[in-house]
Structure 1
Amino acid sequence: MLDGRIMGLDIGDKTIGVAVSDIMGITAQGVTTVRRVGKKKDIEELKAIIKERQVNKIVSGLPKNMNGTIGPQGEKVQKFCELLQEETGIAIEFWDERLSTVAAERTLIEGNVRRENRKKVIDMLAAVIILQGYLDLKRNF
């Protein structure tokens, strides 16, 4: 039993997809997509969600190249997460997010979601996929 929720993040240049686990740490639910306006404001918005949802752990997707190395986008995510961790005092774990956006896109297409509507929710759904993968792995250990 957890004593708080886990937040999943899909951090991009323009948006941050946010998901949060249920209190038992079994399922991930999409919360929102944060439009990025600047590191300070982005972190403030995430802190508000953390407080509201009683989050005590964060899992961030870490974009890797297909060969497993970390490229420029992965480095940006790591730097942002360092700042977020300093600001919140909450430990952040990384989850290999390769193909999470592809899986999110496929799910939305299969659900017959129109292209313009997919754009609005794809990052949040990618955050759900990242967090759900993490929760499933933890539960099986």
Structure 2
Amino acid sequence: MRILGLDLGSKTLGVAVSDELGWTAQGIETIKINEESRDYKLGRLTEIIEQHNVEKIVLGMPKNMNGTIGPRAEASQRFADILTKKFGLPVVLWDERLTTMAAERMLISADVSRKKRKQVIDKMAAVMILQGYLDSLN
């Protein structure tokens, strides 16, 4: 069973997918979206879900440091509803506090240029969200 990991931003959607056994997460791509106009590129997500035979979606939910829900977490909740209606798959909201910062630190320590980091940061955050979820299962 493959699981899709998503990191929702206002302009991009980081995408990762698990291996068949559900042990590791691999980054797929970063999709340019427009949250303001609700253009989430669901057609591209459909292609990815079908290509990888995805059976579950894990969506990052950026809670505030004190555990409360702010505007970005509310955006994730709205997107989870859209995903559930569109794909009919279970959607798990996964606490992703500090995931993007951790991904950025990892890329900096790997000496990835600022321009390249900007291109892959959301994909890396999706990998970290999905890997955290997978680790919690095993």
Give the alignment's TM-score, normalised by structure 2.
0.95
The corresponding residue for 2:63 is 64
1:30 is the counterpart of 2:4: no
What percentage of residue pairs aligned between the two structures are identical? 53
In 1: Cα distance, 2:42 partner to 2:68 partner: 26
In 1: Cα distance, 2:104 partner to 2:22 partner: 24
In 2: Cα distance, 1:21 partner to 1:132 partner: 8
Say what the alpha-carbon RMSD is for the aligned residues: 1.0
Structure 1 unmatched ranges of 5 or more: none
The amino acid that maps onto 1:30 is G
Counterpart of 2:7 (choices 10, 27, 31) is 10
Query: How many residue pairs were aligned?
Result: 136
* 8 Å contact kept, 2:64–2:70: yes
**Post-superposition offset of 1:40:** 4.9
Structure 2 unmatched ranges of 5 or more: none
1:105 is the counterpart of 2:116: no
| 1:6-64 Cα shifts (integer Å, max 9, x gaps) | 00000010000000000000000000001004535522211111011110000000011
In 2: Cα distance, 1:15 partner to 1:26 partner: 26
Query: Counterpart of 2:101 in 1: which secondary structure?
Result: helix
The corresponding residue for 1:133 is 132
Structure 1 segments, 4+ long, off by >4 Å, are none
Q: Which deviates further from its counterpart, 21-30 or 78-87?
A: 78-87
The corresponding residue for 1:83 is 82
In 1: Cα distance, 2:48 partner to 2:10 partner: 20
* 8 Å contact kept, 1:39–1:80: no
